[in-house]
Amino acid sequence: MKAEELRGKTKDQLGDQLIDLRKEQFNLRFQRSSGQLENTARVRQVRRDIARIKTVLNRMQAETQVSA
């Protein structure tokens, strides 16, 4: 997922996507601890996607505060 794709979404869509990624991250942690995780790179990818979404949300919030 790229930051450009995220900037085109609304805050609600980003929030929903953030919740889904956090659930996935939770499940990946359980799989890793039980030895069932097959795609170990997915943990890193999900963590970075969460960070991207949070960054875009923070920038949106900062822009609304500046213009208000």
Domains annotated on the chain, with CATH: 3-67 (1.10.287.310)
User: What is the 3-state composition of the chain as percent helix, strand, coil, each rounded to the nearest 5?
Assistant: 80, 0, 20
Residue 24 structure tokens: 């996935």
How far is 44 from 49, CA to CA, in rounded Å? Answer: 9
pLDDT digits (tens, 9 = 90+) for 15-39: 999 999 999 999 999 999 999 999 9
Query: Is pLDDT above 80 for 68?
Result: no
User: H or E element: which one contains 66?
Assistant: helix 41-67
State the angle between helix axes of 41-67 and 11-34 in degrees (0 to 180), rounded to the nearest 10: 160
Task: Determine the pLDDT at residue 19.
Answer: 98
Q: What is the pLDDT of residue 9?
A: 94
What are 34-58's pLDDT values in tens digits?
A: 999 999 999 999 999 999 999 999 9
Provide the residue count of the chain. 68
The pTM score is 0.90
